[in-house]
Amino acid sequence: MWASMALMGVATAAEVASTIQQGKAQERAYNLQADIDEQNAERSAKEASLNEDTLRRQNRQKLAKIAGAQSEAGLSGGTATGSYLQSAMNAEQDALNLRYQGLSAWQNYKNNAAYNRAYAKISRKNALTSAYTQGLTGAAQILAFGGPKGAFGQTIASKFKGA
């Protein structure tokens, strides 16, 4: 009888340890993903800044060509100036769109990192809660089914010996 109680105790301890290890593994996985999201956010911000700088440089070159072509053609005044200003505004809007796209990607990665860190904490807490429950359930089973007199005065297991 004591051997069966010991086996039940060992089995319960193994379940508890396994649950805790699974929770820790899940926590590590979520934290790893959060670290990757943080790295992606930083990379995204740097790329957006570089792309914006590159686009602005290219736009300045295009605007210089437009101004040069207008001068060579002898164009001046309202139509030429309006055309040049429209091109300049479009170029600036393109650069701003690139910036906002990069900021949006950065924010999305940051949000994902925060969610994954929260999931990591929740996974660990859920595993501990489950482990405690398993431990209590195992202890209750040992007391009810395997103890010298169990919770009911005599072992429940002894009632089933003849069945």
Question: Is 147 strand, coil or helix?
Answer: coil
> Between 48 and 143, whose confidence is greater?
48
Mean pLDDT of the chain: 85
The answer to whether position 114 is within a domain reads: yes
Contacting residues for 84 by C-beta, under 8 A, at least 6 apart: 63, 66, 67, 70
The answer to whether position 23 is within a domain reads: yes
> Between 109 and 74, whose confidence is greater?
109
- pLDDT value of position 99: 93
The answer to whether position 159 is within a domain reads: no
- pLDDT value of position 63: 87
| Token pair in block for residue 25 | 């593994």
- pLDDT value of position 140: 84
DSSP assignment letter at 161: T
Class of residue 146 by CB neighbours under 10 A (exposed 0-12, middle 13-18, buried 19+): buried
Least confident segment among 63-67, 68-72, 151-155 = 151-155
Averaged pLDDT, 44-55: 93
The answer to whether position 63 is within a domain reads: yes
pLDDT tens, position by position, 113-138? 999 999 999 999 999 999 999 999 88
Query: Percentage of the chain surpassing pLDDT 90?
Result: 55
Euclidean distance between CA atoms 158 and 146, whole angstroms:
9
Averaged pLDDT, 28-33: 95
The answer to whether position 102 is within a domain reads: yes
State the virtual CA torsion across 53, 56, 61, 64 in degrees, nearest 10.
-140
The answer to whether position 158 is within a domain reads: no
The answer to whether position 78 is within a domain reads: yes
The domain total for the chain is: 1
Contacting residues for 80 by C-beta, under 8 A, at least 6 apart: 70
CA pseudo-torsion sign 6, 10, 16, 19? negative
pLDDT tens, position by position, 94-118? 999 999 999 999 999 999 999 999 9
The answer on pLDDT for 149 being more than 70 is no
The answer to whether position 163 is within a domain reads: no
> Between 24 and 79, whose confidence is greater?
24
Range of the domain at 55: 2-150
